[in-house]
Chain A
Amino acid sequence: MSNAISRDEVAKVARLARLILSDEELDLYTEQLGQILEHARDMNSLDLTDVVATAHPFGLTNVVREDEVQPSLDRDTVLAMAPDAQDDRFAVPSILGEAP
C-alpha cells in the first residue's frame, strides 16, 4: 500500500507550520500521518459529489454591535506577560535582513 503522505511532504508541512523536525521525527511522523490519512480514505466509500460542505454546526452569521468605544485589556498588564516589550509594543528579533 502506497503511503498516503511522503517524507518530503511531511518536511514541507513542518516548514509551513514553523516546526523543525529531526530525521527520526520525519520518519516517525511520515509513518503516523500516513496511517491517519489512510484511515481517512474510508470517507471515499461514499459518493459525496452533491453533498454541501458544513464548516459549522449551526452556520455562522456576522454579529455586529454599535460602534461604541469600550474598555479593552490594560496595555501594561498584557505587555508584562510578553517575552519582550519596548516602547509600549511587543518586541521581536530582526525581521528585515533575513535570507531571501
Chain B
Amino acid sequence: MKSASQIAADVRSGQTSAVAELERTLSVISERNDELHVFLHVDSDGARAAAIEIDARIARGETVGPLAGVPIAIKDNLCQVGVPTTCSSKILDGWRPPYNATVIERIVAAGAVPVGKTNLDEFAMGSSTENSAFGPTRNPLDPTRVPGGSSGGSAAAVAADMTSISLGSDTGGSIRQPAALCGLVGVKPTYGLVSRYGLIAFASSLDQVGPFSKTVADSALLLEVLAGHDPRDSTSLPEPAPSLVAHVADGVAGKKIGLVRELFDGADESVVAAVHAAADALREAGAEIVDLSIPELGLTLSAYYLIAPAEASSNLARFDGVRYGLRVDAPDVTAMMEATRTAGFGPEVKRRIMLGTYALSAGYYDAYYGQALKVRTLTIAAFARAYEQVDLLLGATTPSVAFKFGAKTADPMTMYLNDVFTIPTNLAGDPALSVPFGTGEEGLPVGVQLLGPGRSEAQLFAAARVLEIADGRP
C-alpha cells in the first residue's frame, strides 16, 4: 500500500490518476467491508466525481493540493453535505447534513477524495466500536478482536489498506487507542488547532479531530492540511497552521524526554517492555531520558468520566425529534421527545447522559462536577510542571494489545479503565500521539504514546519518526 504522500506525488506526476487510486480503494472496500464492517456508507458516486475533477484539473495544468487524488475515510461524526451522517446512532439514521465540517472543506481543497463514512461507538462513546447501533467493526489484523474505539472504523480502514489516511476524533483517546490496537500512527492535536465546526459534539472542551495513517510523515501531512484558524469555531486557536512535514526528520538529539510511571504502570508486560524499548531507542538517538512520576494523573479517569458525560448530557439534549433525525410520534411534545430519545439512543449513551445529568444536578454539582473541574486544574498544573523539566513525555497508549469482542463489556468501568493512559492529555488540552512500537500477545501491535505541551506537534512527529525507524520502518 502506497503512502498518501506517494499517491499524491504519483497523481500529480501522471504516473497514476485519482480515478485509478479511487477504484483500487473501492475494490478493497467491496472485498472486505462485509467481513470487517468498516464503512457505514460508501459514497462511490461523490468520490468518483471528485476524482474525475482532480484528474481534469491536472490535465488542464492547474495546481492541485498536497493530498491530490488521495482517497480518505471519514469518521461518521463529521458532517459532509448530502452524505448520510449517523454518529452510529439510530437517532440520526437517514440524516444528511446541510453543511460541511471545516475539516471536510480543508481536505477537499487539498485534493483529497472522501470515500465514505466509517463506523464508531455511538456518539464516540466507547473504546471498541461495540457500542455502534449498527454493529461492531472487526480488527483487520485479527477479526476476532476489536479495532479499538471510538474511531474504530477509521483505524480499520487504514489497517485494511482501504485508504492510506483517515479522519477520527479524540475526546479521551478515541484516535490514539484504535491507532495502537490497529498498528497505526494516530494523533490528538492541541485543543483548538483543528476546527470542531461540523464535528458533532460529544464533550466540547475535550473533542479534537485528528489523523490516522501508517506512517508518521502521512499524519504530519494530513494534520498540516487540517490545522489552522477557523472563525466558525470560537475555540479555534488564532495562529496560522504550523509547519509539520518539514520537521519530521528533525530527530531528538539534545531533547529531554520524561518516562512517566503513571502512563504505563499496570499495563501488560509486553506493553511495559515496548515503552522501555522505546525509551532506549530515543536515548540512542541522542535524547536524555528522565524517569518521572506525576501522581495527579491517577485521578484523571474519575474526573474525565464526570466532565465528559456532563458535557455530553448538555450537547445531546439537541436530539429531541424536532429538527433532524428520528421522531417517534406521541400525542404531545414532551411524550414525543421522551419516546424519540428512548428509542433513538443506545445503552452507553443513555448511561452517560444520565451520569452527566446527575453530576450537574442541584445538590450534586459541587460533589461531582465541581470536584472534577478542580482535578482538571491540578492535571493541567502537573503537566505544566513536567514540561518545565522535559520537552516531551513517553508512556503507553493502552494497557494491552487489541482485545476480544465481549472481553470488556461486563460492566462499564472495565471498558473505561482502558482509557486510563490517554485521558490525561485531553483534560490538559495538550497534544499526544500513538506510534506502533514492537509487538505483544499473538504478535499484535503495541502503541507507545508521546505527549507534549500545547503546540508541540512538530517535536512529537520528530520523536515518533525516530521510533518508526528504530522499529524497522525506514
Contact = CB atoms under 8 A, between A and B. Distances in A.
Nearest to B329: A93
Nearest to B328: A83
A1 interface: no
A69 interface: no
Contacts of A46: 299, 375, 378
B11 interface: no
B413 interface: yes
Nearest to A60: B235
A43 B303 contact: yes
Given A48-B371, A63-B234, A13 B332 contact: no
Contacts of A73: 98-99
Nearest to A98: B332
Contacts of B335: 93
Interface string A63-100: 10100000001100110011110000010111101100
B429 interface: yes
B95 A81 contact: yes
B387 to A, nearest CB: 14
A19 B375 contact: no
Contacts of A90: 322-323
Contact of B372 (A10, A13, A43, A78): A43
A39, A43, A46, A56: residue with the most chain B Cβ atoms closer than 10 Å: A43
B109 interface: no
Nearest to B416: A36
Contact of B333 (A20, A42, A43, A92): A92
Contacts of B95: 81
Interface string B321-349: 11111110111111111110110010000
Interface string A21-65: 000000001001101110111111110100111111110100101
Contacts of B234: 60, 63
Nearest to B296: A46
A54 B341 contact: no
Contacts of A77: 98
B313 interface: yes
Given A35-B412, A74-B98, A52 B192 contact: no
B285 interface: no
Interface residues of A, number: 51
B368 interface: yes
B353 A17 contact: yes
A97 B335 CA distance: 13
Nearest to B94: A81
B354 A19 contact: yes
B351 interface: yes
Interface stretch (B252-260, B355-363, B443-451): B355-363
Given A93-B336, A94-B333, A57 B191 contact: yes
B238 to A, nearest CB: 10
A19 B266 CA distance: 37
B142 to A, nearest CB: 29
B375 A43 contact: yes
B331 A93 contact: yes
Nearest to B336: A93
Contacts of A33: 351, 354-355, 358
B235 A51 contact: no
B376 to A, nearest CB: 5
B450 to A, nearest CB: 19
A36 B353 CA distance: 13
Nearest to B330: A93
11 contacts: A17-B313, A18-B337, A19-B350, A41-B302, A42-B298, A43-B303, A52-B377, A54-B376, A55-B205, A55-B373, A73-B99
Interface of A: 5, 9-10, 13-14, 16-20, 29, 32-33, 35-37, 39-46, 48, 51-58, 60, 63, 65, 73-74, 77-78, 81-84, 90, 92-95, 97-98
Given A54-B377, A57-B427, A57-B429, 13 more contacts: A13-B354, A17-B341, A19-B342, A29-B350, A32-B412, A40-B306, A40-B372, A54-B380, A56-B205, A56-B235, A60-B235, A73-B98, A78-B323
